[in-house]
Structure 1
Amino acid sequence: LDLSLKSGEITIRAMNLLKKAHNETFGEMQPAKVSTGTSAGPGILVTGHNMKALYELLKQAEPRGVNVYTHSEMLPAHGYPKLKAFTNLKGNLGKAWFDQRRLFASFPGAILGTSNCVLIPPESYRSRMFTHGIARLPGVEHIDGYDFSKLIAKAEDLPPLKDEPGQVELTTGFGDNVVLPLAGKMLDLVKTGKIRHFFLVGGCDAPGSVRNYYRELVEKAPKDTVILTLACGKFRFNDLDLGDIEGIPRLLDMGQCNDAISAIRVASALAEALGCTVNDLPLTLVLSWMEQKAVAILMALLHLGIKGIYLGPTLPAWLTPELVAKLQEAFDLRLTTNAEADLAKILG
């Protein structure tokens, strides 16, 4: 356990470095409305996590009139000013990583997988898909470096997309640089009883109706609560319009899974302003488990001594009953049950 917690410390350092790199390269995140429709013309759909790859692709595709769309964890790209400035960055299609076989089969353009969470493609779109960086798939052409000319040429050869409006408009871009200046107002709203509780609801999504727990939790959270979210778990509920509390949106998308560092910074700042610890804040973390990277982020939170985290809807196979008992004893780790019962327990 001590070694695992050490990995959490290293994860925090890594997330800080990645956030610094993103901010310095693409500008600090700003709130952005994101279309879920398509524009007429050739298109490329980008999935994964690699903002640098997206930037280089946008730069090369823009002069050729090829539009680029994001999928899943690439959604936060729309919040970075230097990425949003490209006229060919059009919108976000689909939801979390596991809808890709259905989505990619129906998408007529070319596809780029930039990191983990890519699935082995069926024949229907294998010839239209490319990988980059650490992502590699059997039968799929891999692009070394940042020369995307083959990908762009493939998009130009394929049938163009049509002008079709999306069913919803998504919002992203609430990095810590946006939320921290609101901390004073948030604290005033807490003190006056207008904000009762904060939830951080995020993590890795996966197939199955059992994960509708997270949508139900957000839907049933009282109107005097604020929901911070990040990672692809947000696609269970980020189409909801939760309104605002005196100008502060009730749903704040802070970015990718690695942007958990932004949530940590916000929680730490609120605790410092109130003269308490993060564990004393009216804040509850409700995380969805899926894959290994999520372990690193969980260990980062535990390394910081954050207690009372809800984890579900199913546990990792390596979390034996003995380990669960140990984590519950040391960190008050809790397992999700059902949305109504958990809300009642959290809010009292």
Structure 2
Amino acid sequence: MTIESALVNDMSGSGLDNVVAAETILSHVDGNAGQLIIRGYHLAELASWTFEQVLELLWSGQTANTMTATDIRMQLAGARERAFALIQPQTRALTPVEALRLQLSALSDTETCPHYIMAVAAVPVFTAATIRMKQGLAPIAPDPSLGHSADFLYMLSGVIPSVEQIKALDTYLTTVSDHGLNASTFTARVIASTEAGLFSSVIGALCALKGPLHGGAPGPVLDMLDAIGEKANIKTWLRDRLERGERLMGFGHRIYRVRDPRADVLKEAVSALQDGSDRILFAGQVEQAALALLEVKKPLRSLQTNVEFYTALVLEAVGFPRDSFTNVFAAGRMAGWTAHVLEQERLGRLIRPQSNYIGPSPR
């Protein structure tokens, strides 16, 4: 056995699983019980909140000034206008997440707007502009009279969205706003602990989110539904993929050993948005068939519906192209990233874990 292969074998169990690396007041994930608690509230309780209300909850006590959801809405509106002036047309040649990474990097540490406000405001501005520029269309300036989710959809299409569309996007952004110490949030906290600043911290978090092992696969859920095509093909298509050892997109989660609670919240949101539509009904049929097959094919593993499955349907329904889904996820998770950065900065302690050396001894 070579040194390299021995190294891989010795580190195969690494990943910091079950290691407590921080104490936080922000969120708690109970994978065995299928619960997500965000600052004292079960996720289902927050499903009716606006995104600004969730920001108020996460930022409460962590910023220099106390802000209500109304204050946050007004400050975000002004920050979106500031971010619009920073759009870089050359990013049309990049993927949406690469374009977002580049444009967030242009935010200056000397920015006078509170950085946590600007970070949250900038994501929908840059994302909507990139989508439109890649379609050969001009970016649409934000409308400061609109709330955050409504303005995101307006900048995307140029049309004032319906109440149902706004509600669906608010629910999505709220649902993904925070989720314990996941890879991107941990990245943000490590960078914040060096006092590098909030923008550097959330850009690092976005880079971690970009990785397919963390960012998930909501886009490929739609590819799966498209490939299945119609009800008569569902069981055959799914069974064929499982027999070939392939993963069914939208099922299974690293943490949850039961159904992902976010899936139920988003299922309700998309059902209200497109009540009785063929797409939603078809997706439900695919979900039920997949769960039944997974129970038979993989009886020792609990592979339940995860957040990706209904994320894909919600974001498709409100008009986002599937290659931009990671950006929209980042728009929601920016709430948690900024809150964790603020929390870490208040601690004022460098995160510096130890490692075990398992290489060769000096000769």
TM surpasses 0.5: no
Higher relative contact order (CA 8 A, sep 6+): 2
Give TM class, smaller chain: under 0.3
TM-score normalized by structure 1?
0.27
TM-score normalized by structure 2?
0.27
Which of the two has greater helix per residue? Answer: 2
